[in-house]
């Protein structure tokens, strides 16, 4: 493989997983659109080479065998970093002009492998995790401080990195595949509703699984409140759940709280886990409203998908969402306020005209953010950094 000079630098893109988490989704869409534009990009990820990514990928890629789920989080982070370093050593030499890491693990591995090669390392910081272990805090800090160039997907995280780490980062936008999530006129989710017993009931959808930063506890409490008012009682479908971190204790706390409040699992709340890629847009088209009470996000890809699908949206009033949402685009509530969230869920479930108005605005908001635009921004940065 020969490079094309500063105009088309050869990019090794690194990510820690093959699962549908935000950073991985971003990496794959970015790589595919760079590839479509004629750029030489190769994705390296940790996972099961026999299983592949969670969806087909049309950009060149290599999956390196990852470690198992055994051991503590600290041990798994260290093992993942070591596996990525080992797998990249022979594969980077003379084949690339820069390395682009999409997460903490990839950032540490990228610096370790690229430095001897004299290759610049770019790191995208999607968000900063709230680690308590000194080992993990140090790992994350070095993955931010050691690369040559930092990118973030929002102005809020640009500000936070400057304030918390004393570093400057360049903002690039995220994207969404508007055609994939656009609501077809023939949309019919009756089979999905029947699968979860939601026929004839208002259906809320959330995407991201059960974890602290997704505001899952507040969502359960808000749903309990909504179920005392809305008739028949609404259903919440939860898509997603894969995470590198172990949120088992928090998950048990959320499920225990649901039981205390008389919100039955399997009837009021249905945990769908990771759904097939071709089925995901159908859940957006089947639901009556999207609820996304995140306490912290780097951007909120699922929120952009819901908007693209024309789904009325309830979410939290946090700075990153304010960068692309106005008062007329979604219903915003204070983060962590289960009472306010419950009130707004009742409101959106009770007002068809409101849902139609919000749903009509969503595609226009999402249409401002395309993966092609994201790829073009990155291509300009690659040229500058490589030169």
pLDDT tens-digit series, residues 202-225? 999 999 989 999 999 999 999 999
- The residues of the chain that CATH labels 3.40.50.2000 are 5-175+370-386, 178-366
CA distance 177 to 275: 18
Look at residues 47, 56, 33 and name the one whose alpha carbon lies nearest to residue 105: 47
Would you state the pLDDT for residue 242?
Answer: 60
CA distance 104 to 181: 29
Task: Please report, for residues 38, 320, 349, the alpha-carbon distance to residue 122 in angstroms, rounded to integers and kept in the order given.
Answer: 20, 22, 44
CA distance 328 to 325: 8
Separate counts of helices (H) and strands (E) for the chain: 15, 13
- According to CATH, the superfamily of the domain at 178-366 is Glycogen Phosphorylase B; (3.40.50.2000)
Could you tell me what percent of the chain has a pLDDT over 70?
A: 97
pTM of the model: 0.92
CA distance 111 to 376: 24
**Side-chain half-sphere CA neighbours of 203 within 13 A:** 23
Would you state the pLDDT for residue 2?
Answer: 38
Phi, psi for 219 (deg, rounded to 5): -65, -40
Look at residues 327, 332, 286, 289 and name the one whose alpha carbon lies nearest to residue 307: 289
Domain 5-175+370-386 in this protein, CATH class? alpha beta
Segments in the chain below pLDDT 50? 1-4
Is the Cβ–Cβ distance between 157 and 129 less than 8 Å?
no
Specify burial of residue 255 (Cβ count, 10 A radius: 0-12, 13-18, 19+).
Answer: middle
Residue position matching structure tokens 């995901």: 280
Look at residues 170, 190, 151, 116 and name the one whose alpha carbon lies nearest to residue 26: 151
Using one digit for the tens of pLDDT, what is the confidence trace for 73-131?
A: 889 899 999 999 999 998 998 999 999 999 999 999 999 999 888 999 999 999 998 88
CA distance 357 to 349: 13
74: Cβ contacts below 8 Å, ≥ 6 apart: 133, 135, 136
């Amino acid at each position: 493989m020969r490079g094309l000079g500063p105009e088309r630098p050869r990019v090794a893109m690194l990510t820690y997983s093959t699962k549908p988490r935000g950073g991985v989704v971003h990496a794959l869409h970015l790589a595919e659109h760079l590839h479509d534009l004629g750029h030489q990009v190769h994705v390296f990820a940790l996972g099961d080479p026999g299983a592949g990514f969670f969806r087909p990928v049309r950009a060149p890629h290599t999956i390196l065998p990852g470690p198992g789920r055994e051991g503590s989080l600290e041990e798994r982070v260290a093992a993942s970093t070591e596996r990525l370093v080992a797998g990249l050593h022979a594969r980077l030499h003379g084949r690339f002009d820069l390395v682009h890491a999409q997460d903490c693990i990839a950032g540490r591995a990228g610096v370790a492998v690229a430095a001897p090669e004299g290759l610049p390392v770019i790191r995208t910081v999607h968000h900063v995790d709230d680690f308590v272990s000194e080992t993990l805090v140090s790992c994350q800090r070095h993955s931010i401080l050691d690369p040559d160039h930092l990118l973030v997907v929002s102005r809020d995280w640009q500000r936070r990195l400057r304030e918390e780490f004393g570093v400057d980062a360049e903002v690039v936008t995220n994207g969404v595949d508007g055609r994939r999530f656009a609501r077809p006129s023939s949309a019919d989710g009756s089979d999905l509703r029947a699968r979860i017993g939601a026929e004839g009931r208002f259906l809320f959808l959330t995407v991201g699984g059960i974890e602290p930063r997704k505001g899952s506890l507040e969502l359960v409490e808000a749903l309990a409140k909504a179920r005392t008012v809305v008739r028949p009682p609404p259903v919440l479908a939860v898509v997603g759940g894969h995470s590198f971190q172990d949120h088992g204790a928090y998950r048990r706390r959320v499920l225990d709280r649901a039981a205390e409040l008389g919100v039955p699992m399997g009837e009021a709340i249905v945990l769908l886990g990771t759904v097939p890629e071709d089925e995901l847009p159908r859940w957006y088209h089947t639901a009556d409203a999207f609820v996304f009470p995140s306490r912290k996000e780097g951007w909120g890809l699922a929120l952009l998908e819901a908007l693209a699908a024309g789904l009325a949206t309830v979410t939290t009033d946090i700075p990153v969402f304010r960068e692309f949402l106005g008062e007329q685009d979604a219903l915003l509530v204070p983060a962590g306020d289960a009472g306010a969230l419950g009130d707004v869920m009742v409101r959106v479930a009770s007002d068809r005209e409101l849902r139609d108005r919000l749903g009509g605005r969503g595609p226009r908001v999402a249409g401002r953010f395309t993966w092609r635009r994201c790829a073009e921004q990155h291509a300009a940065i690659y040229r500058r950094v490589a030169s």
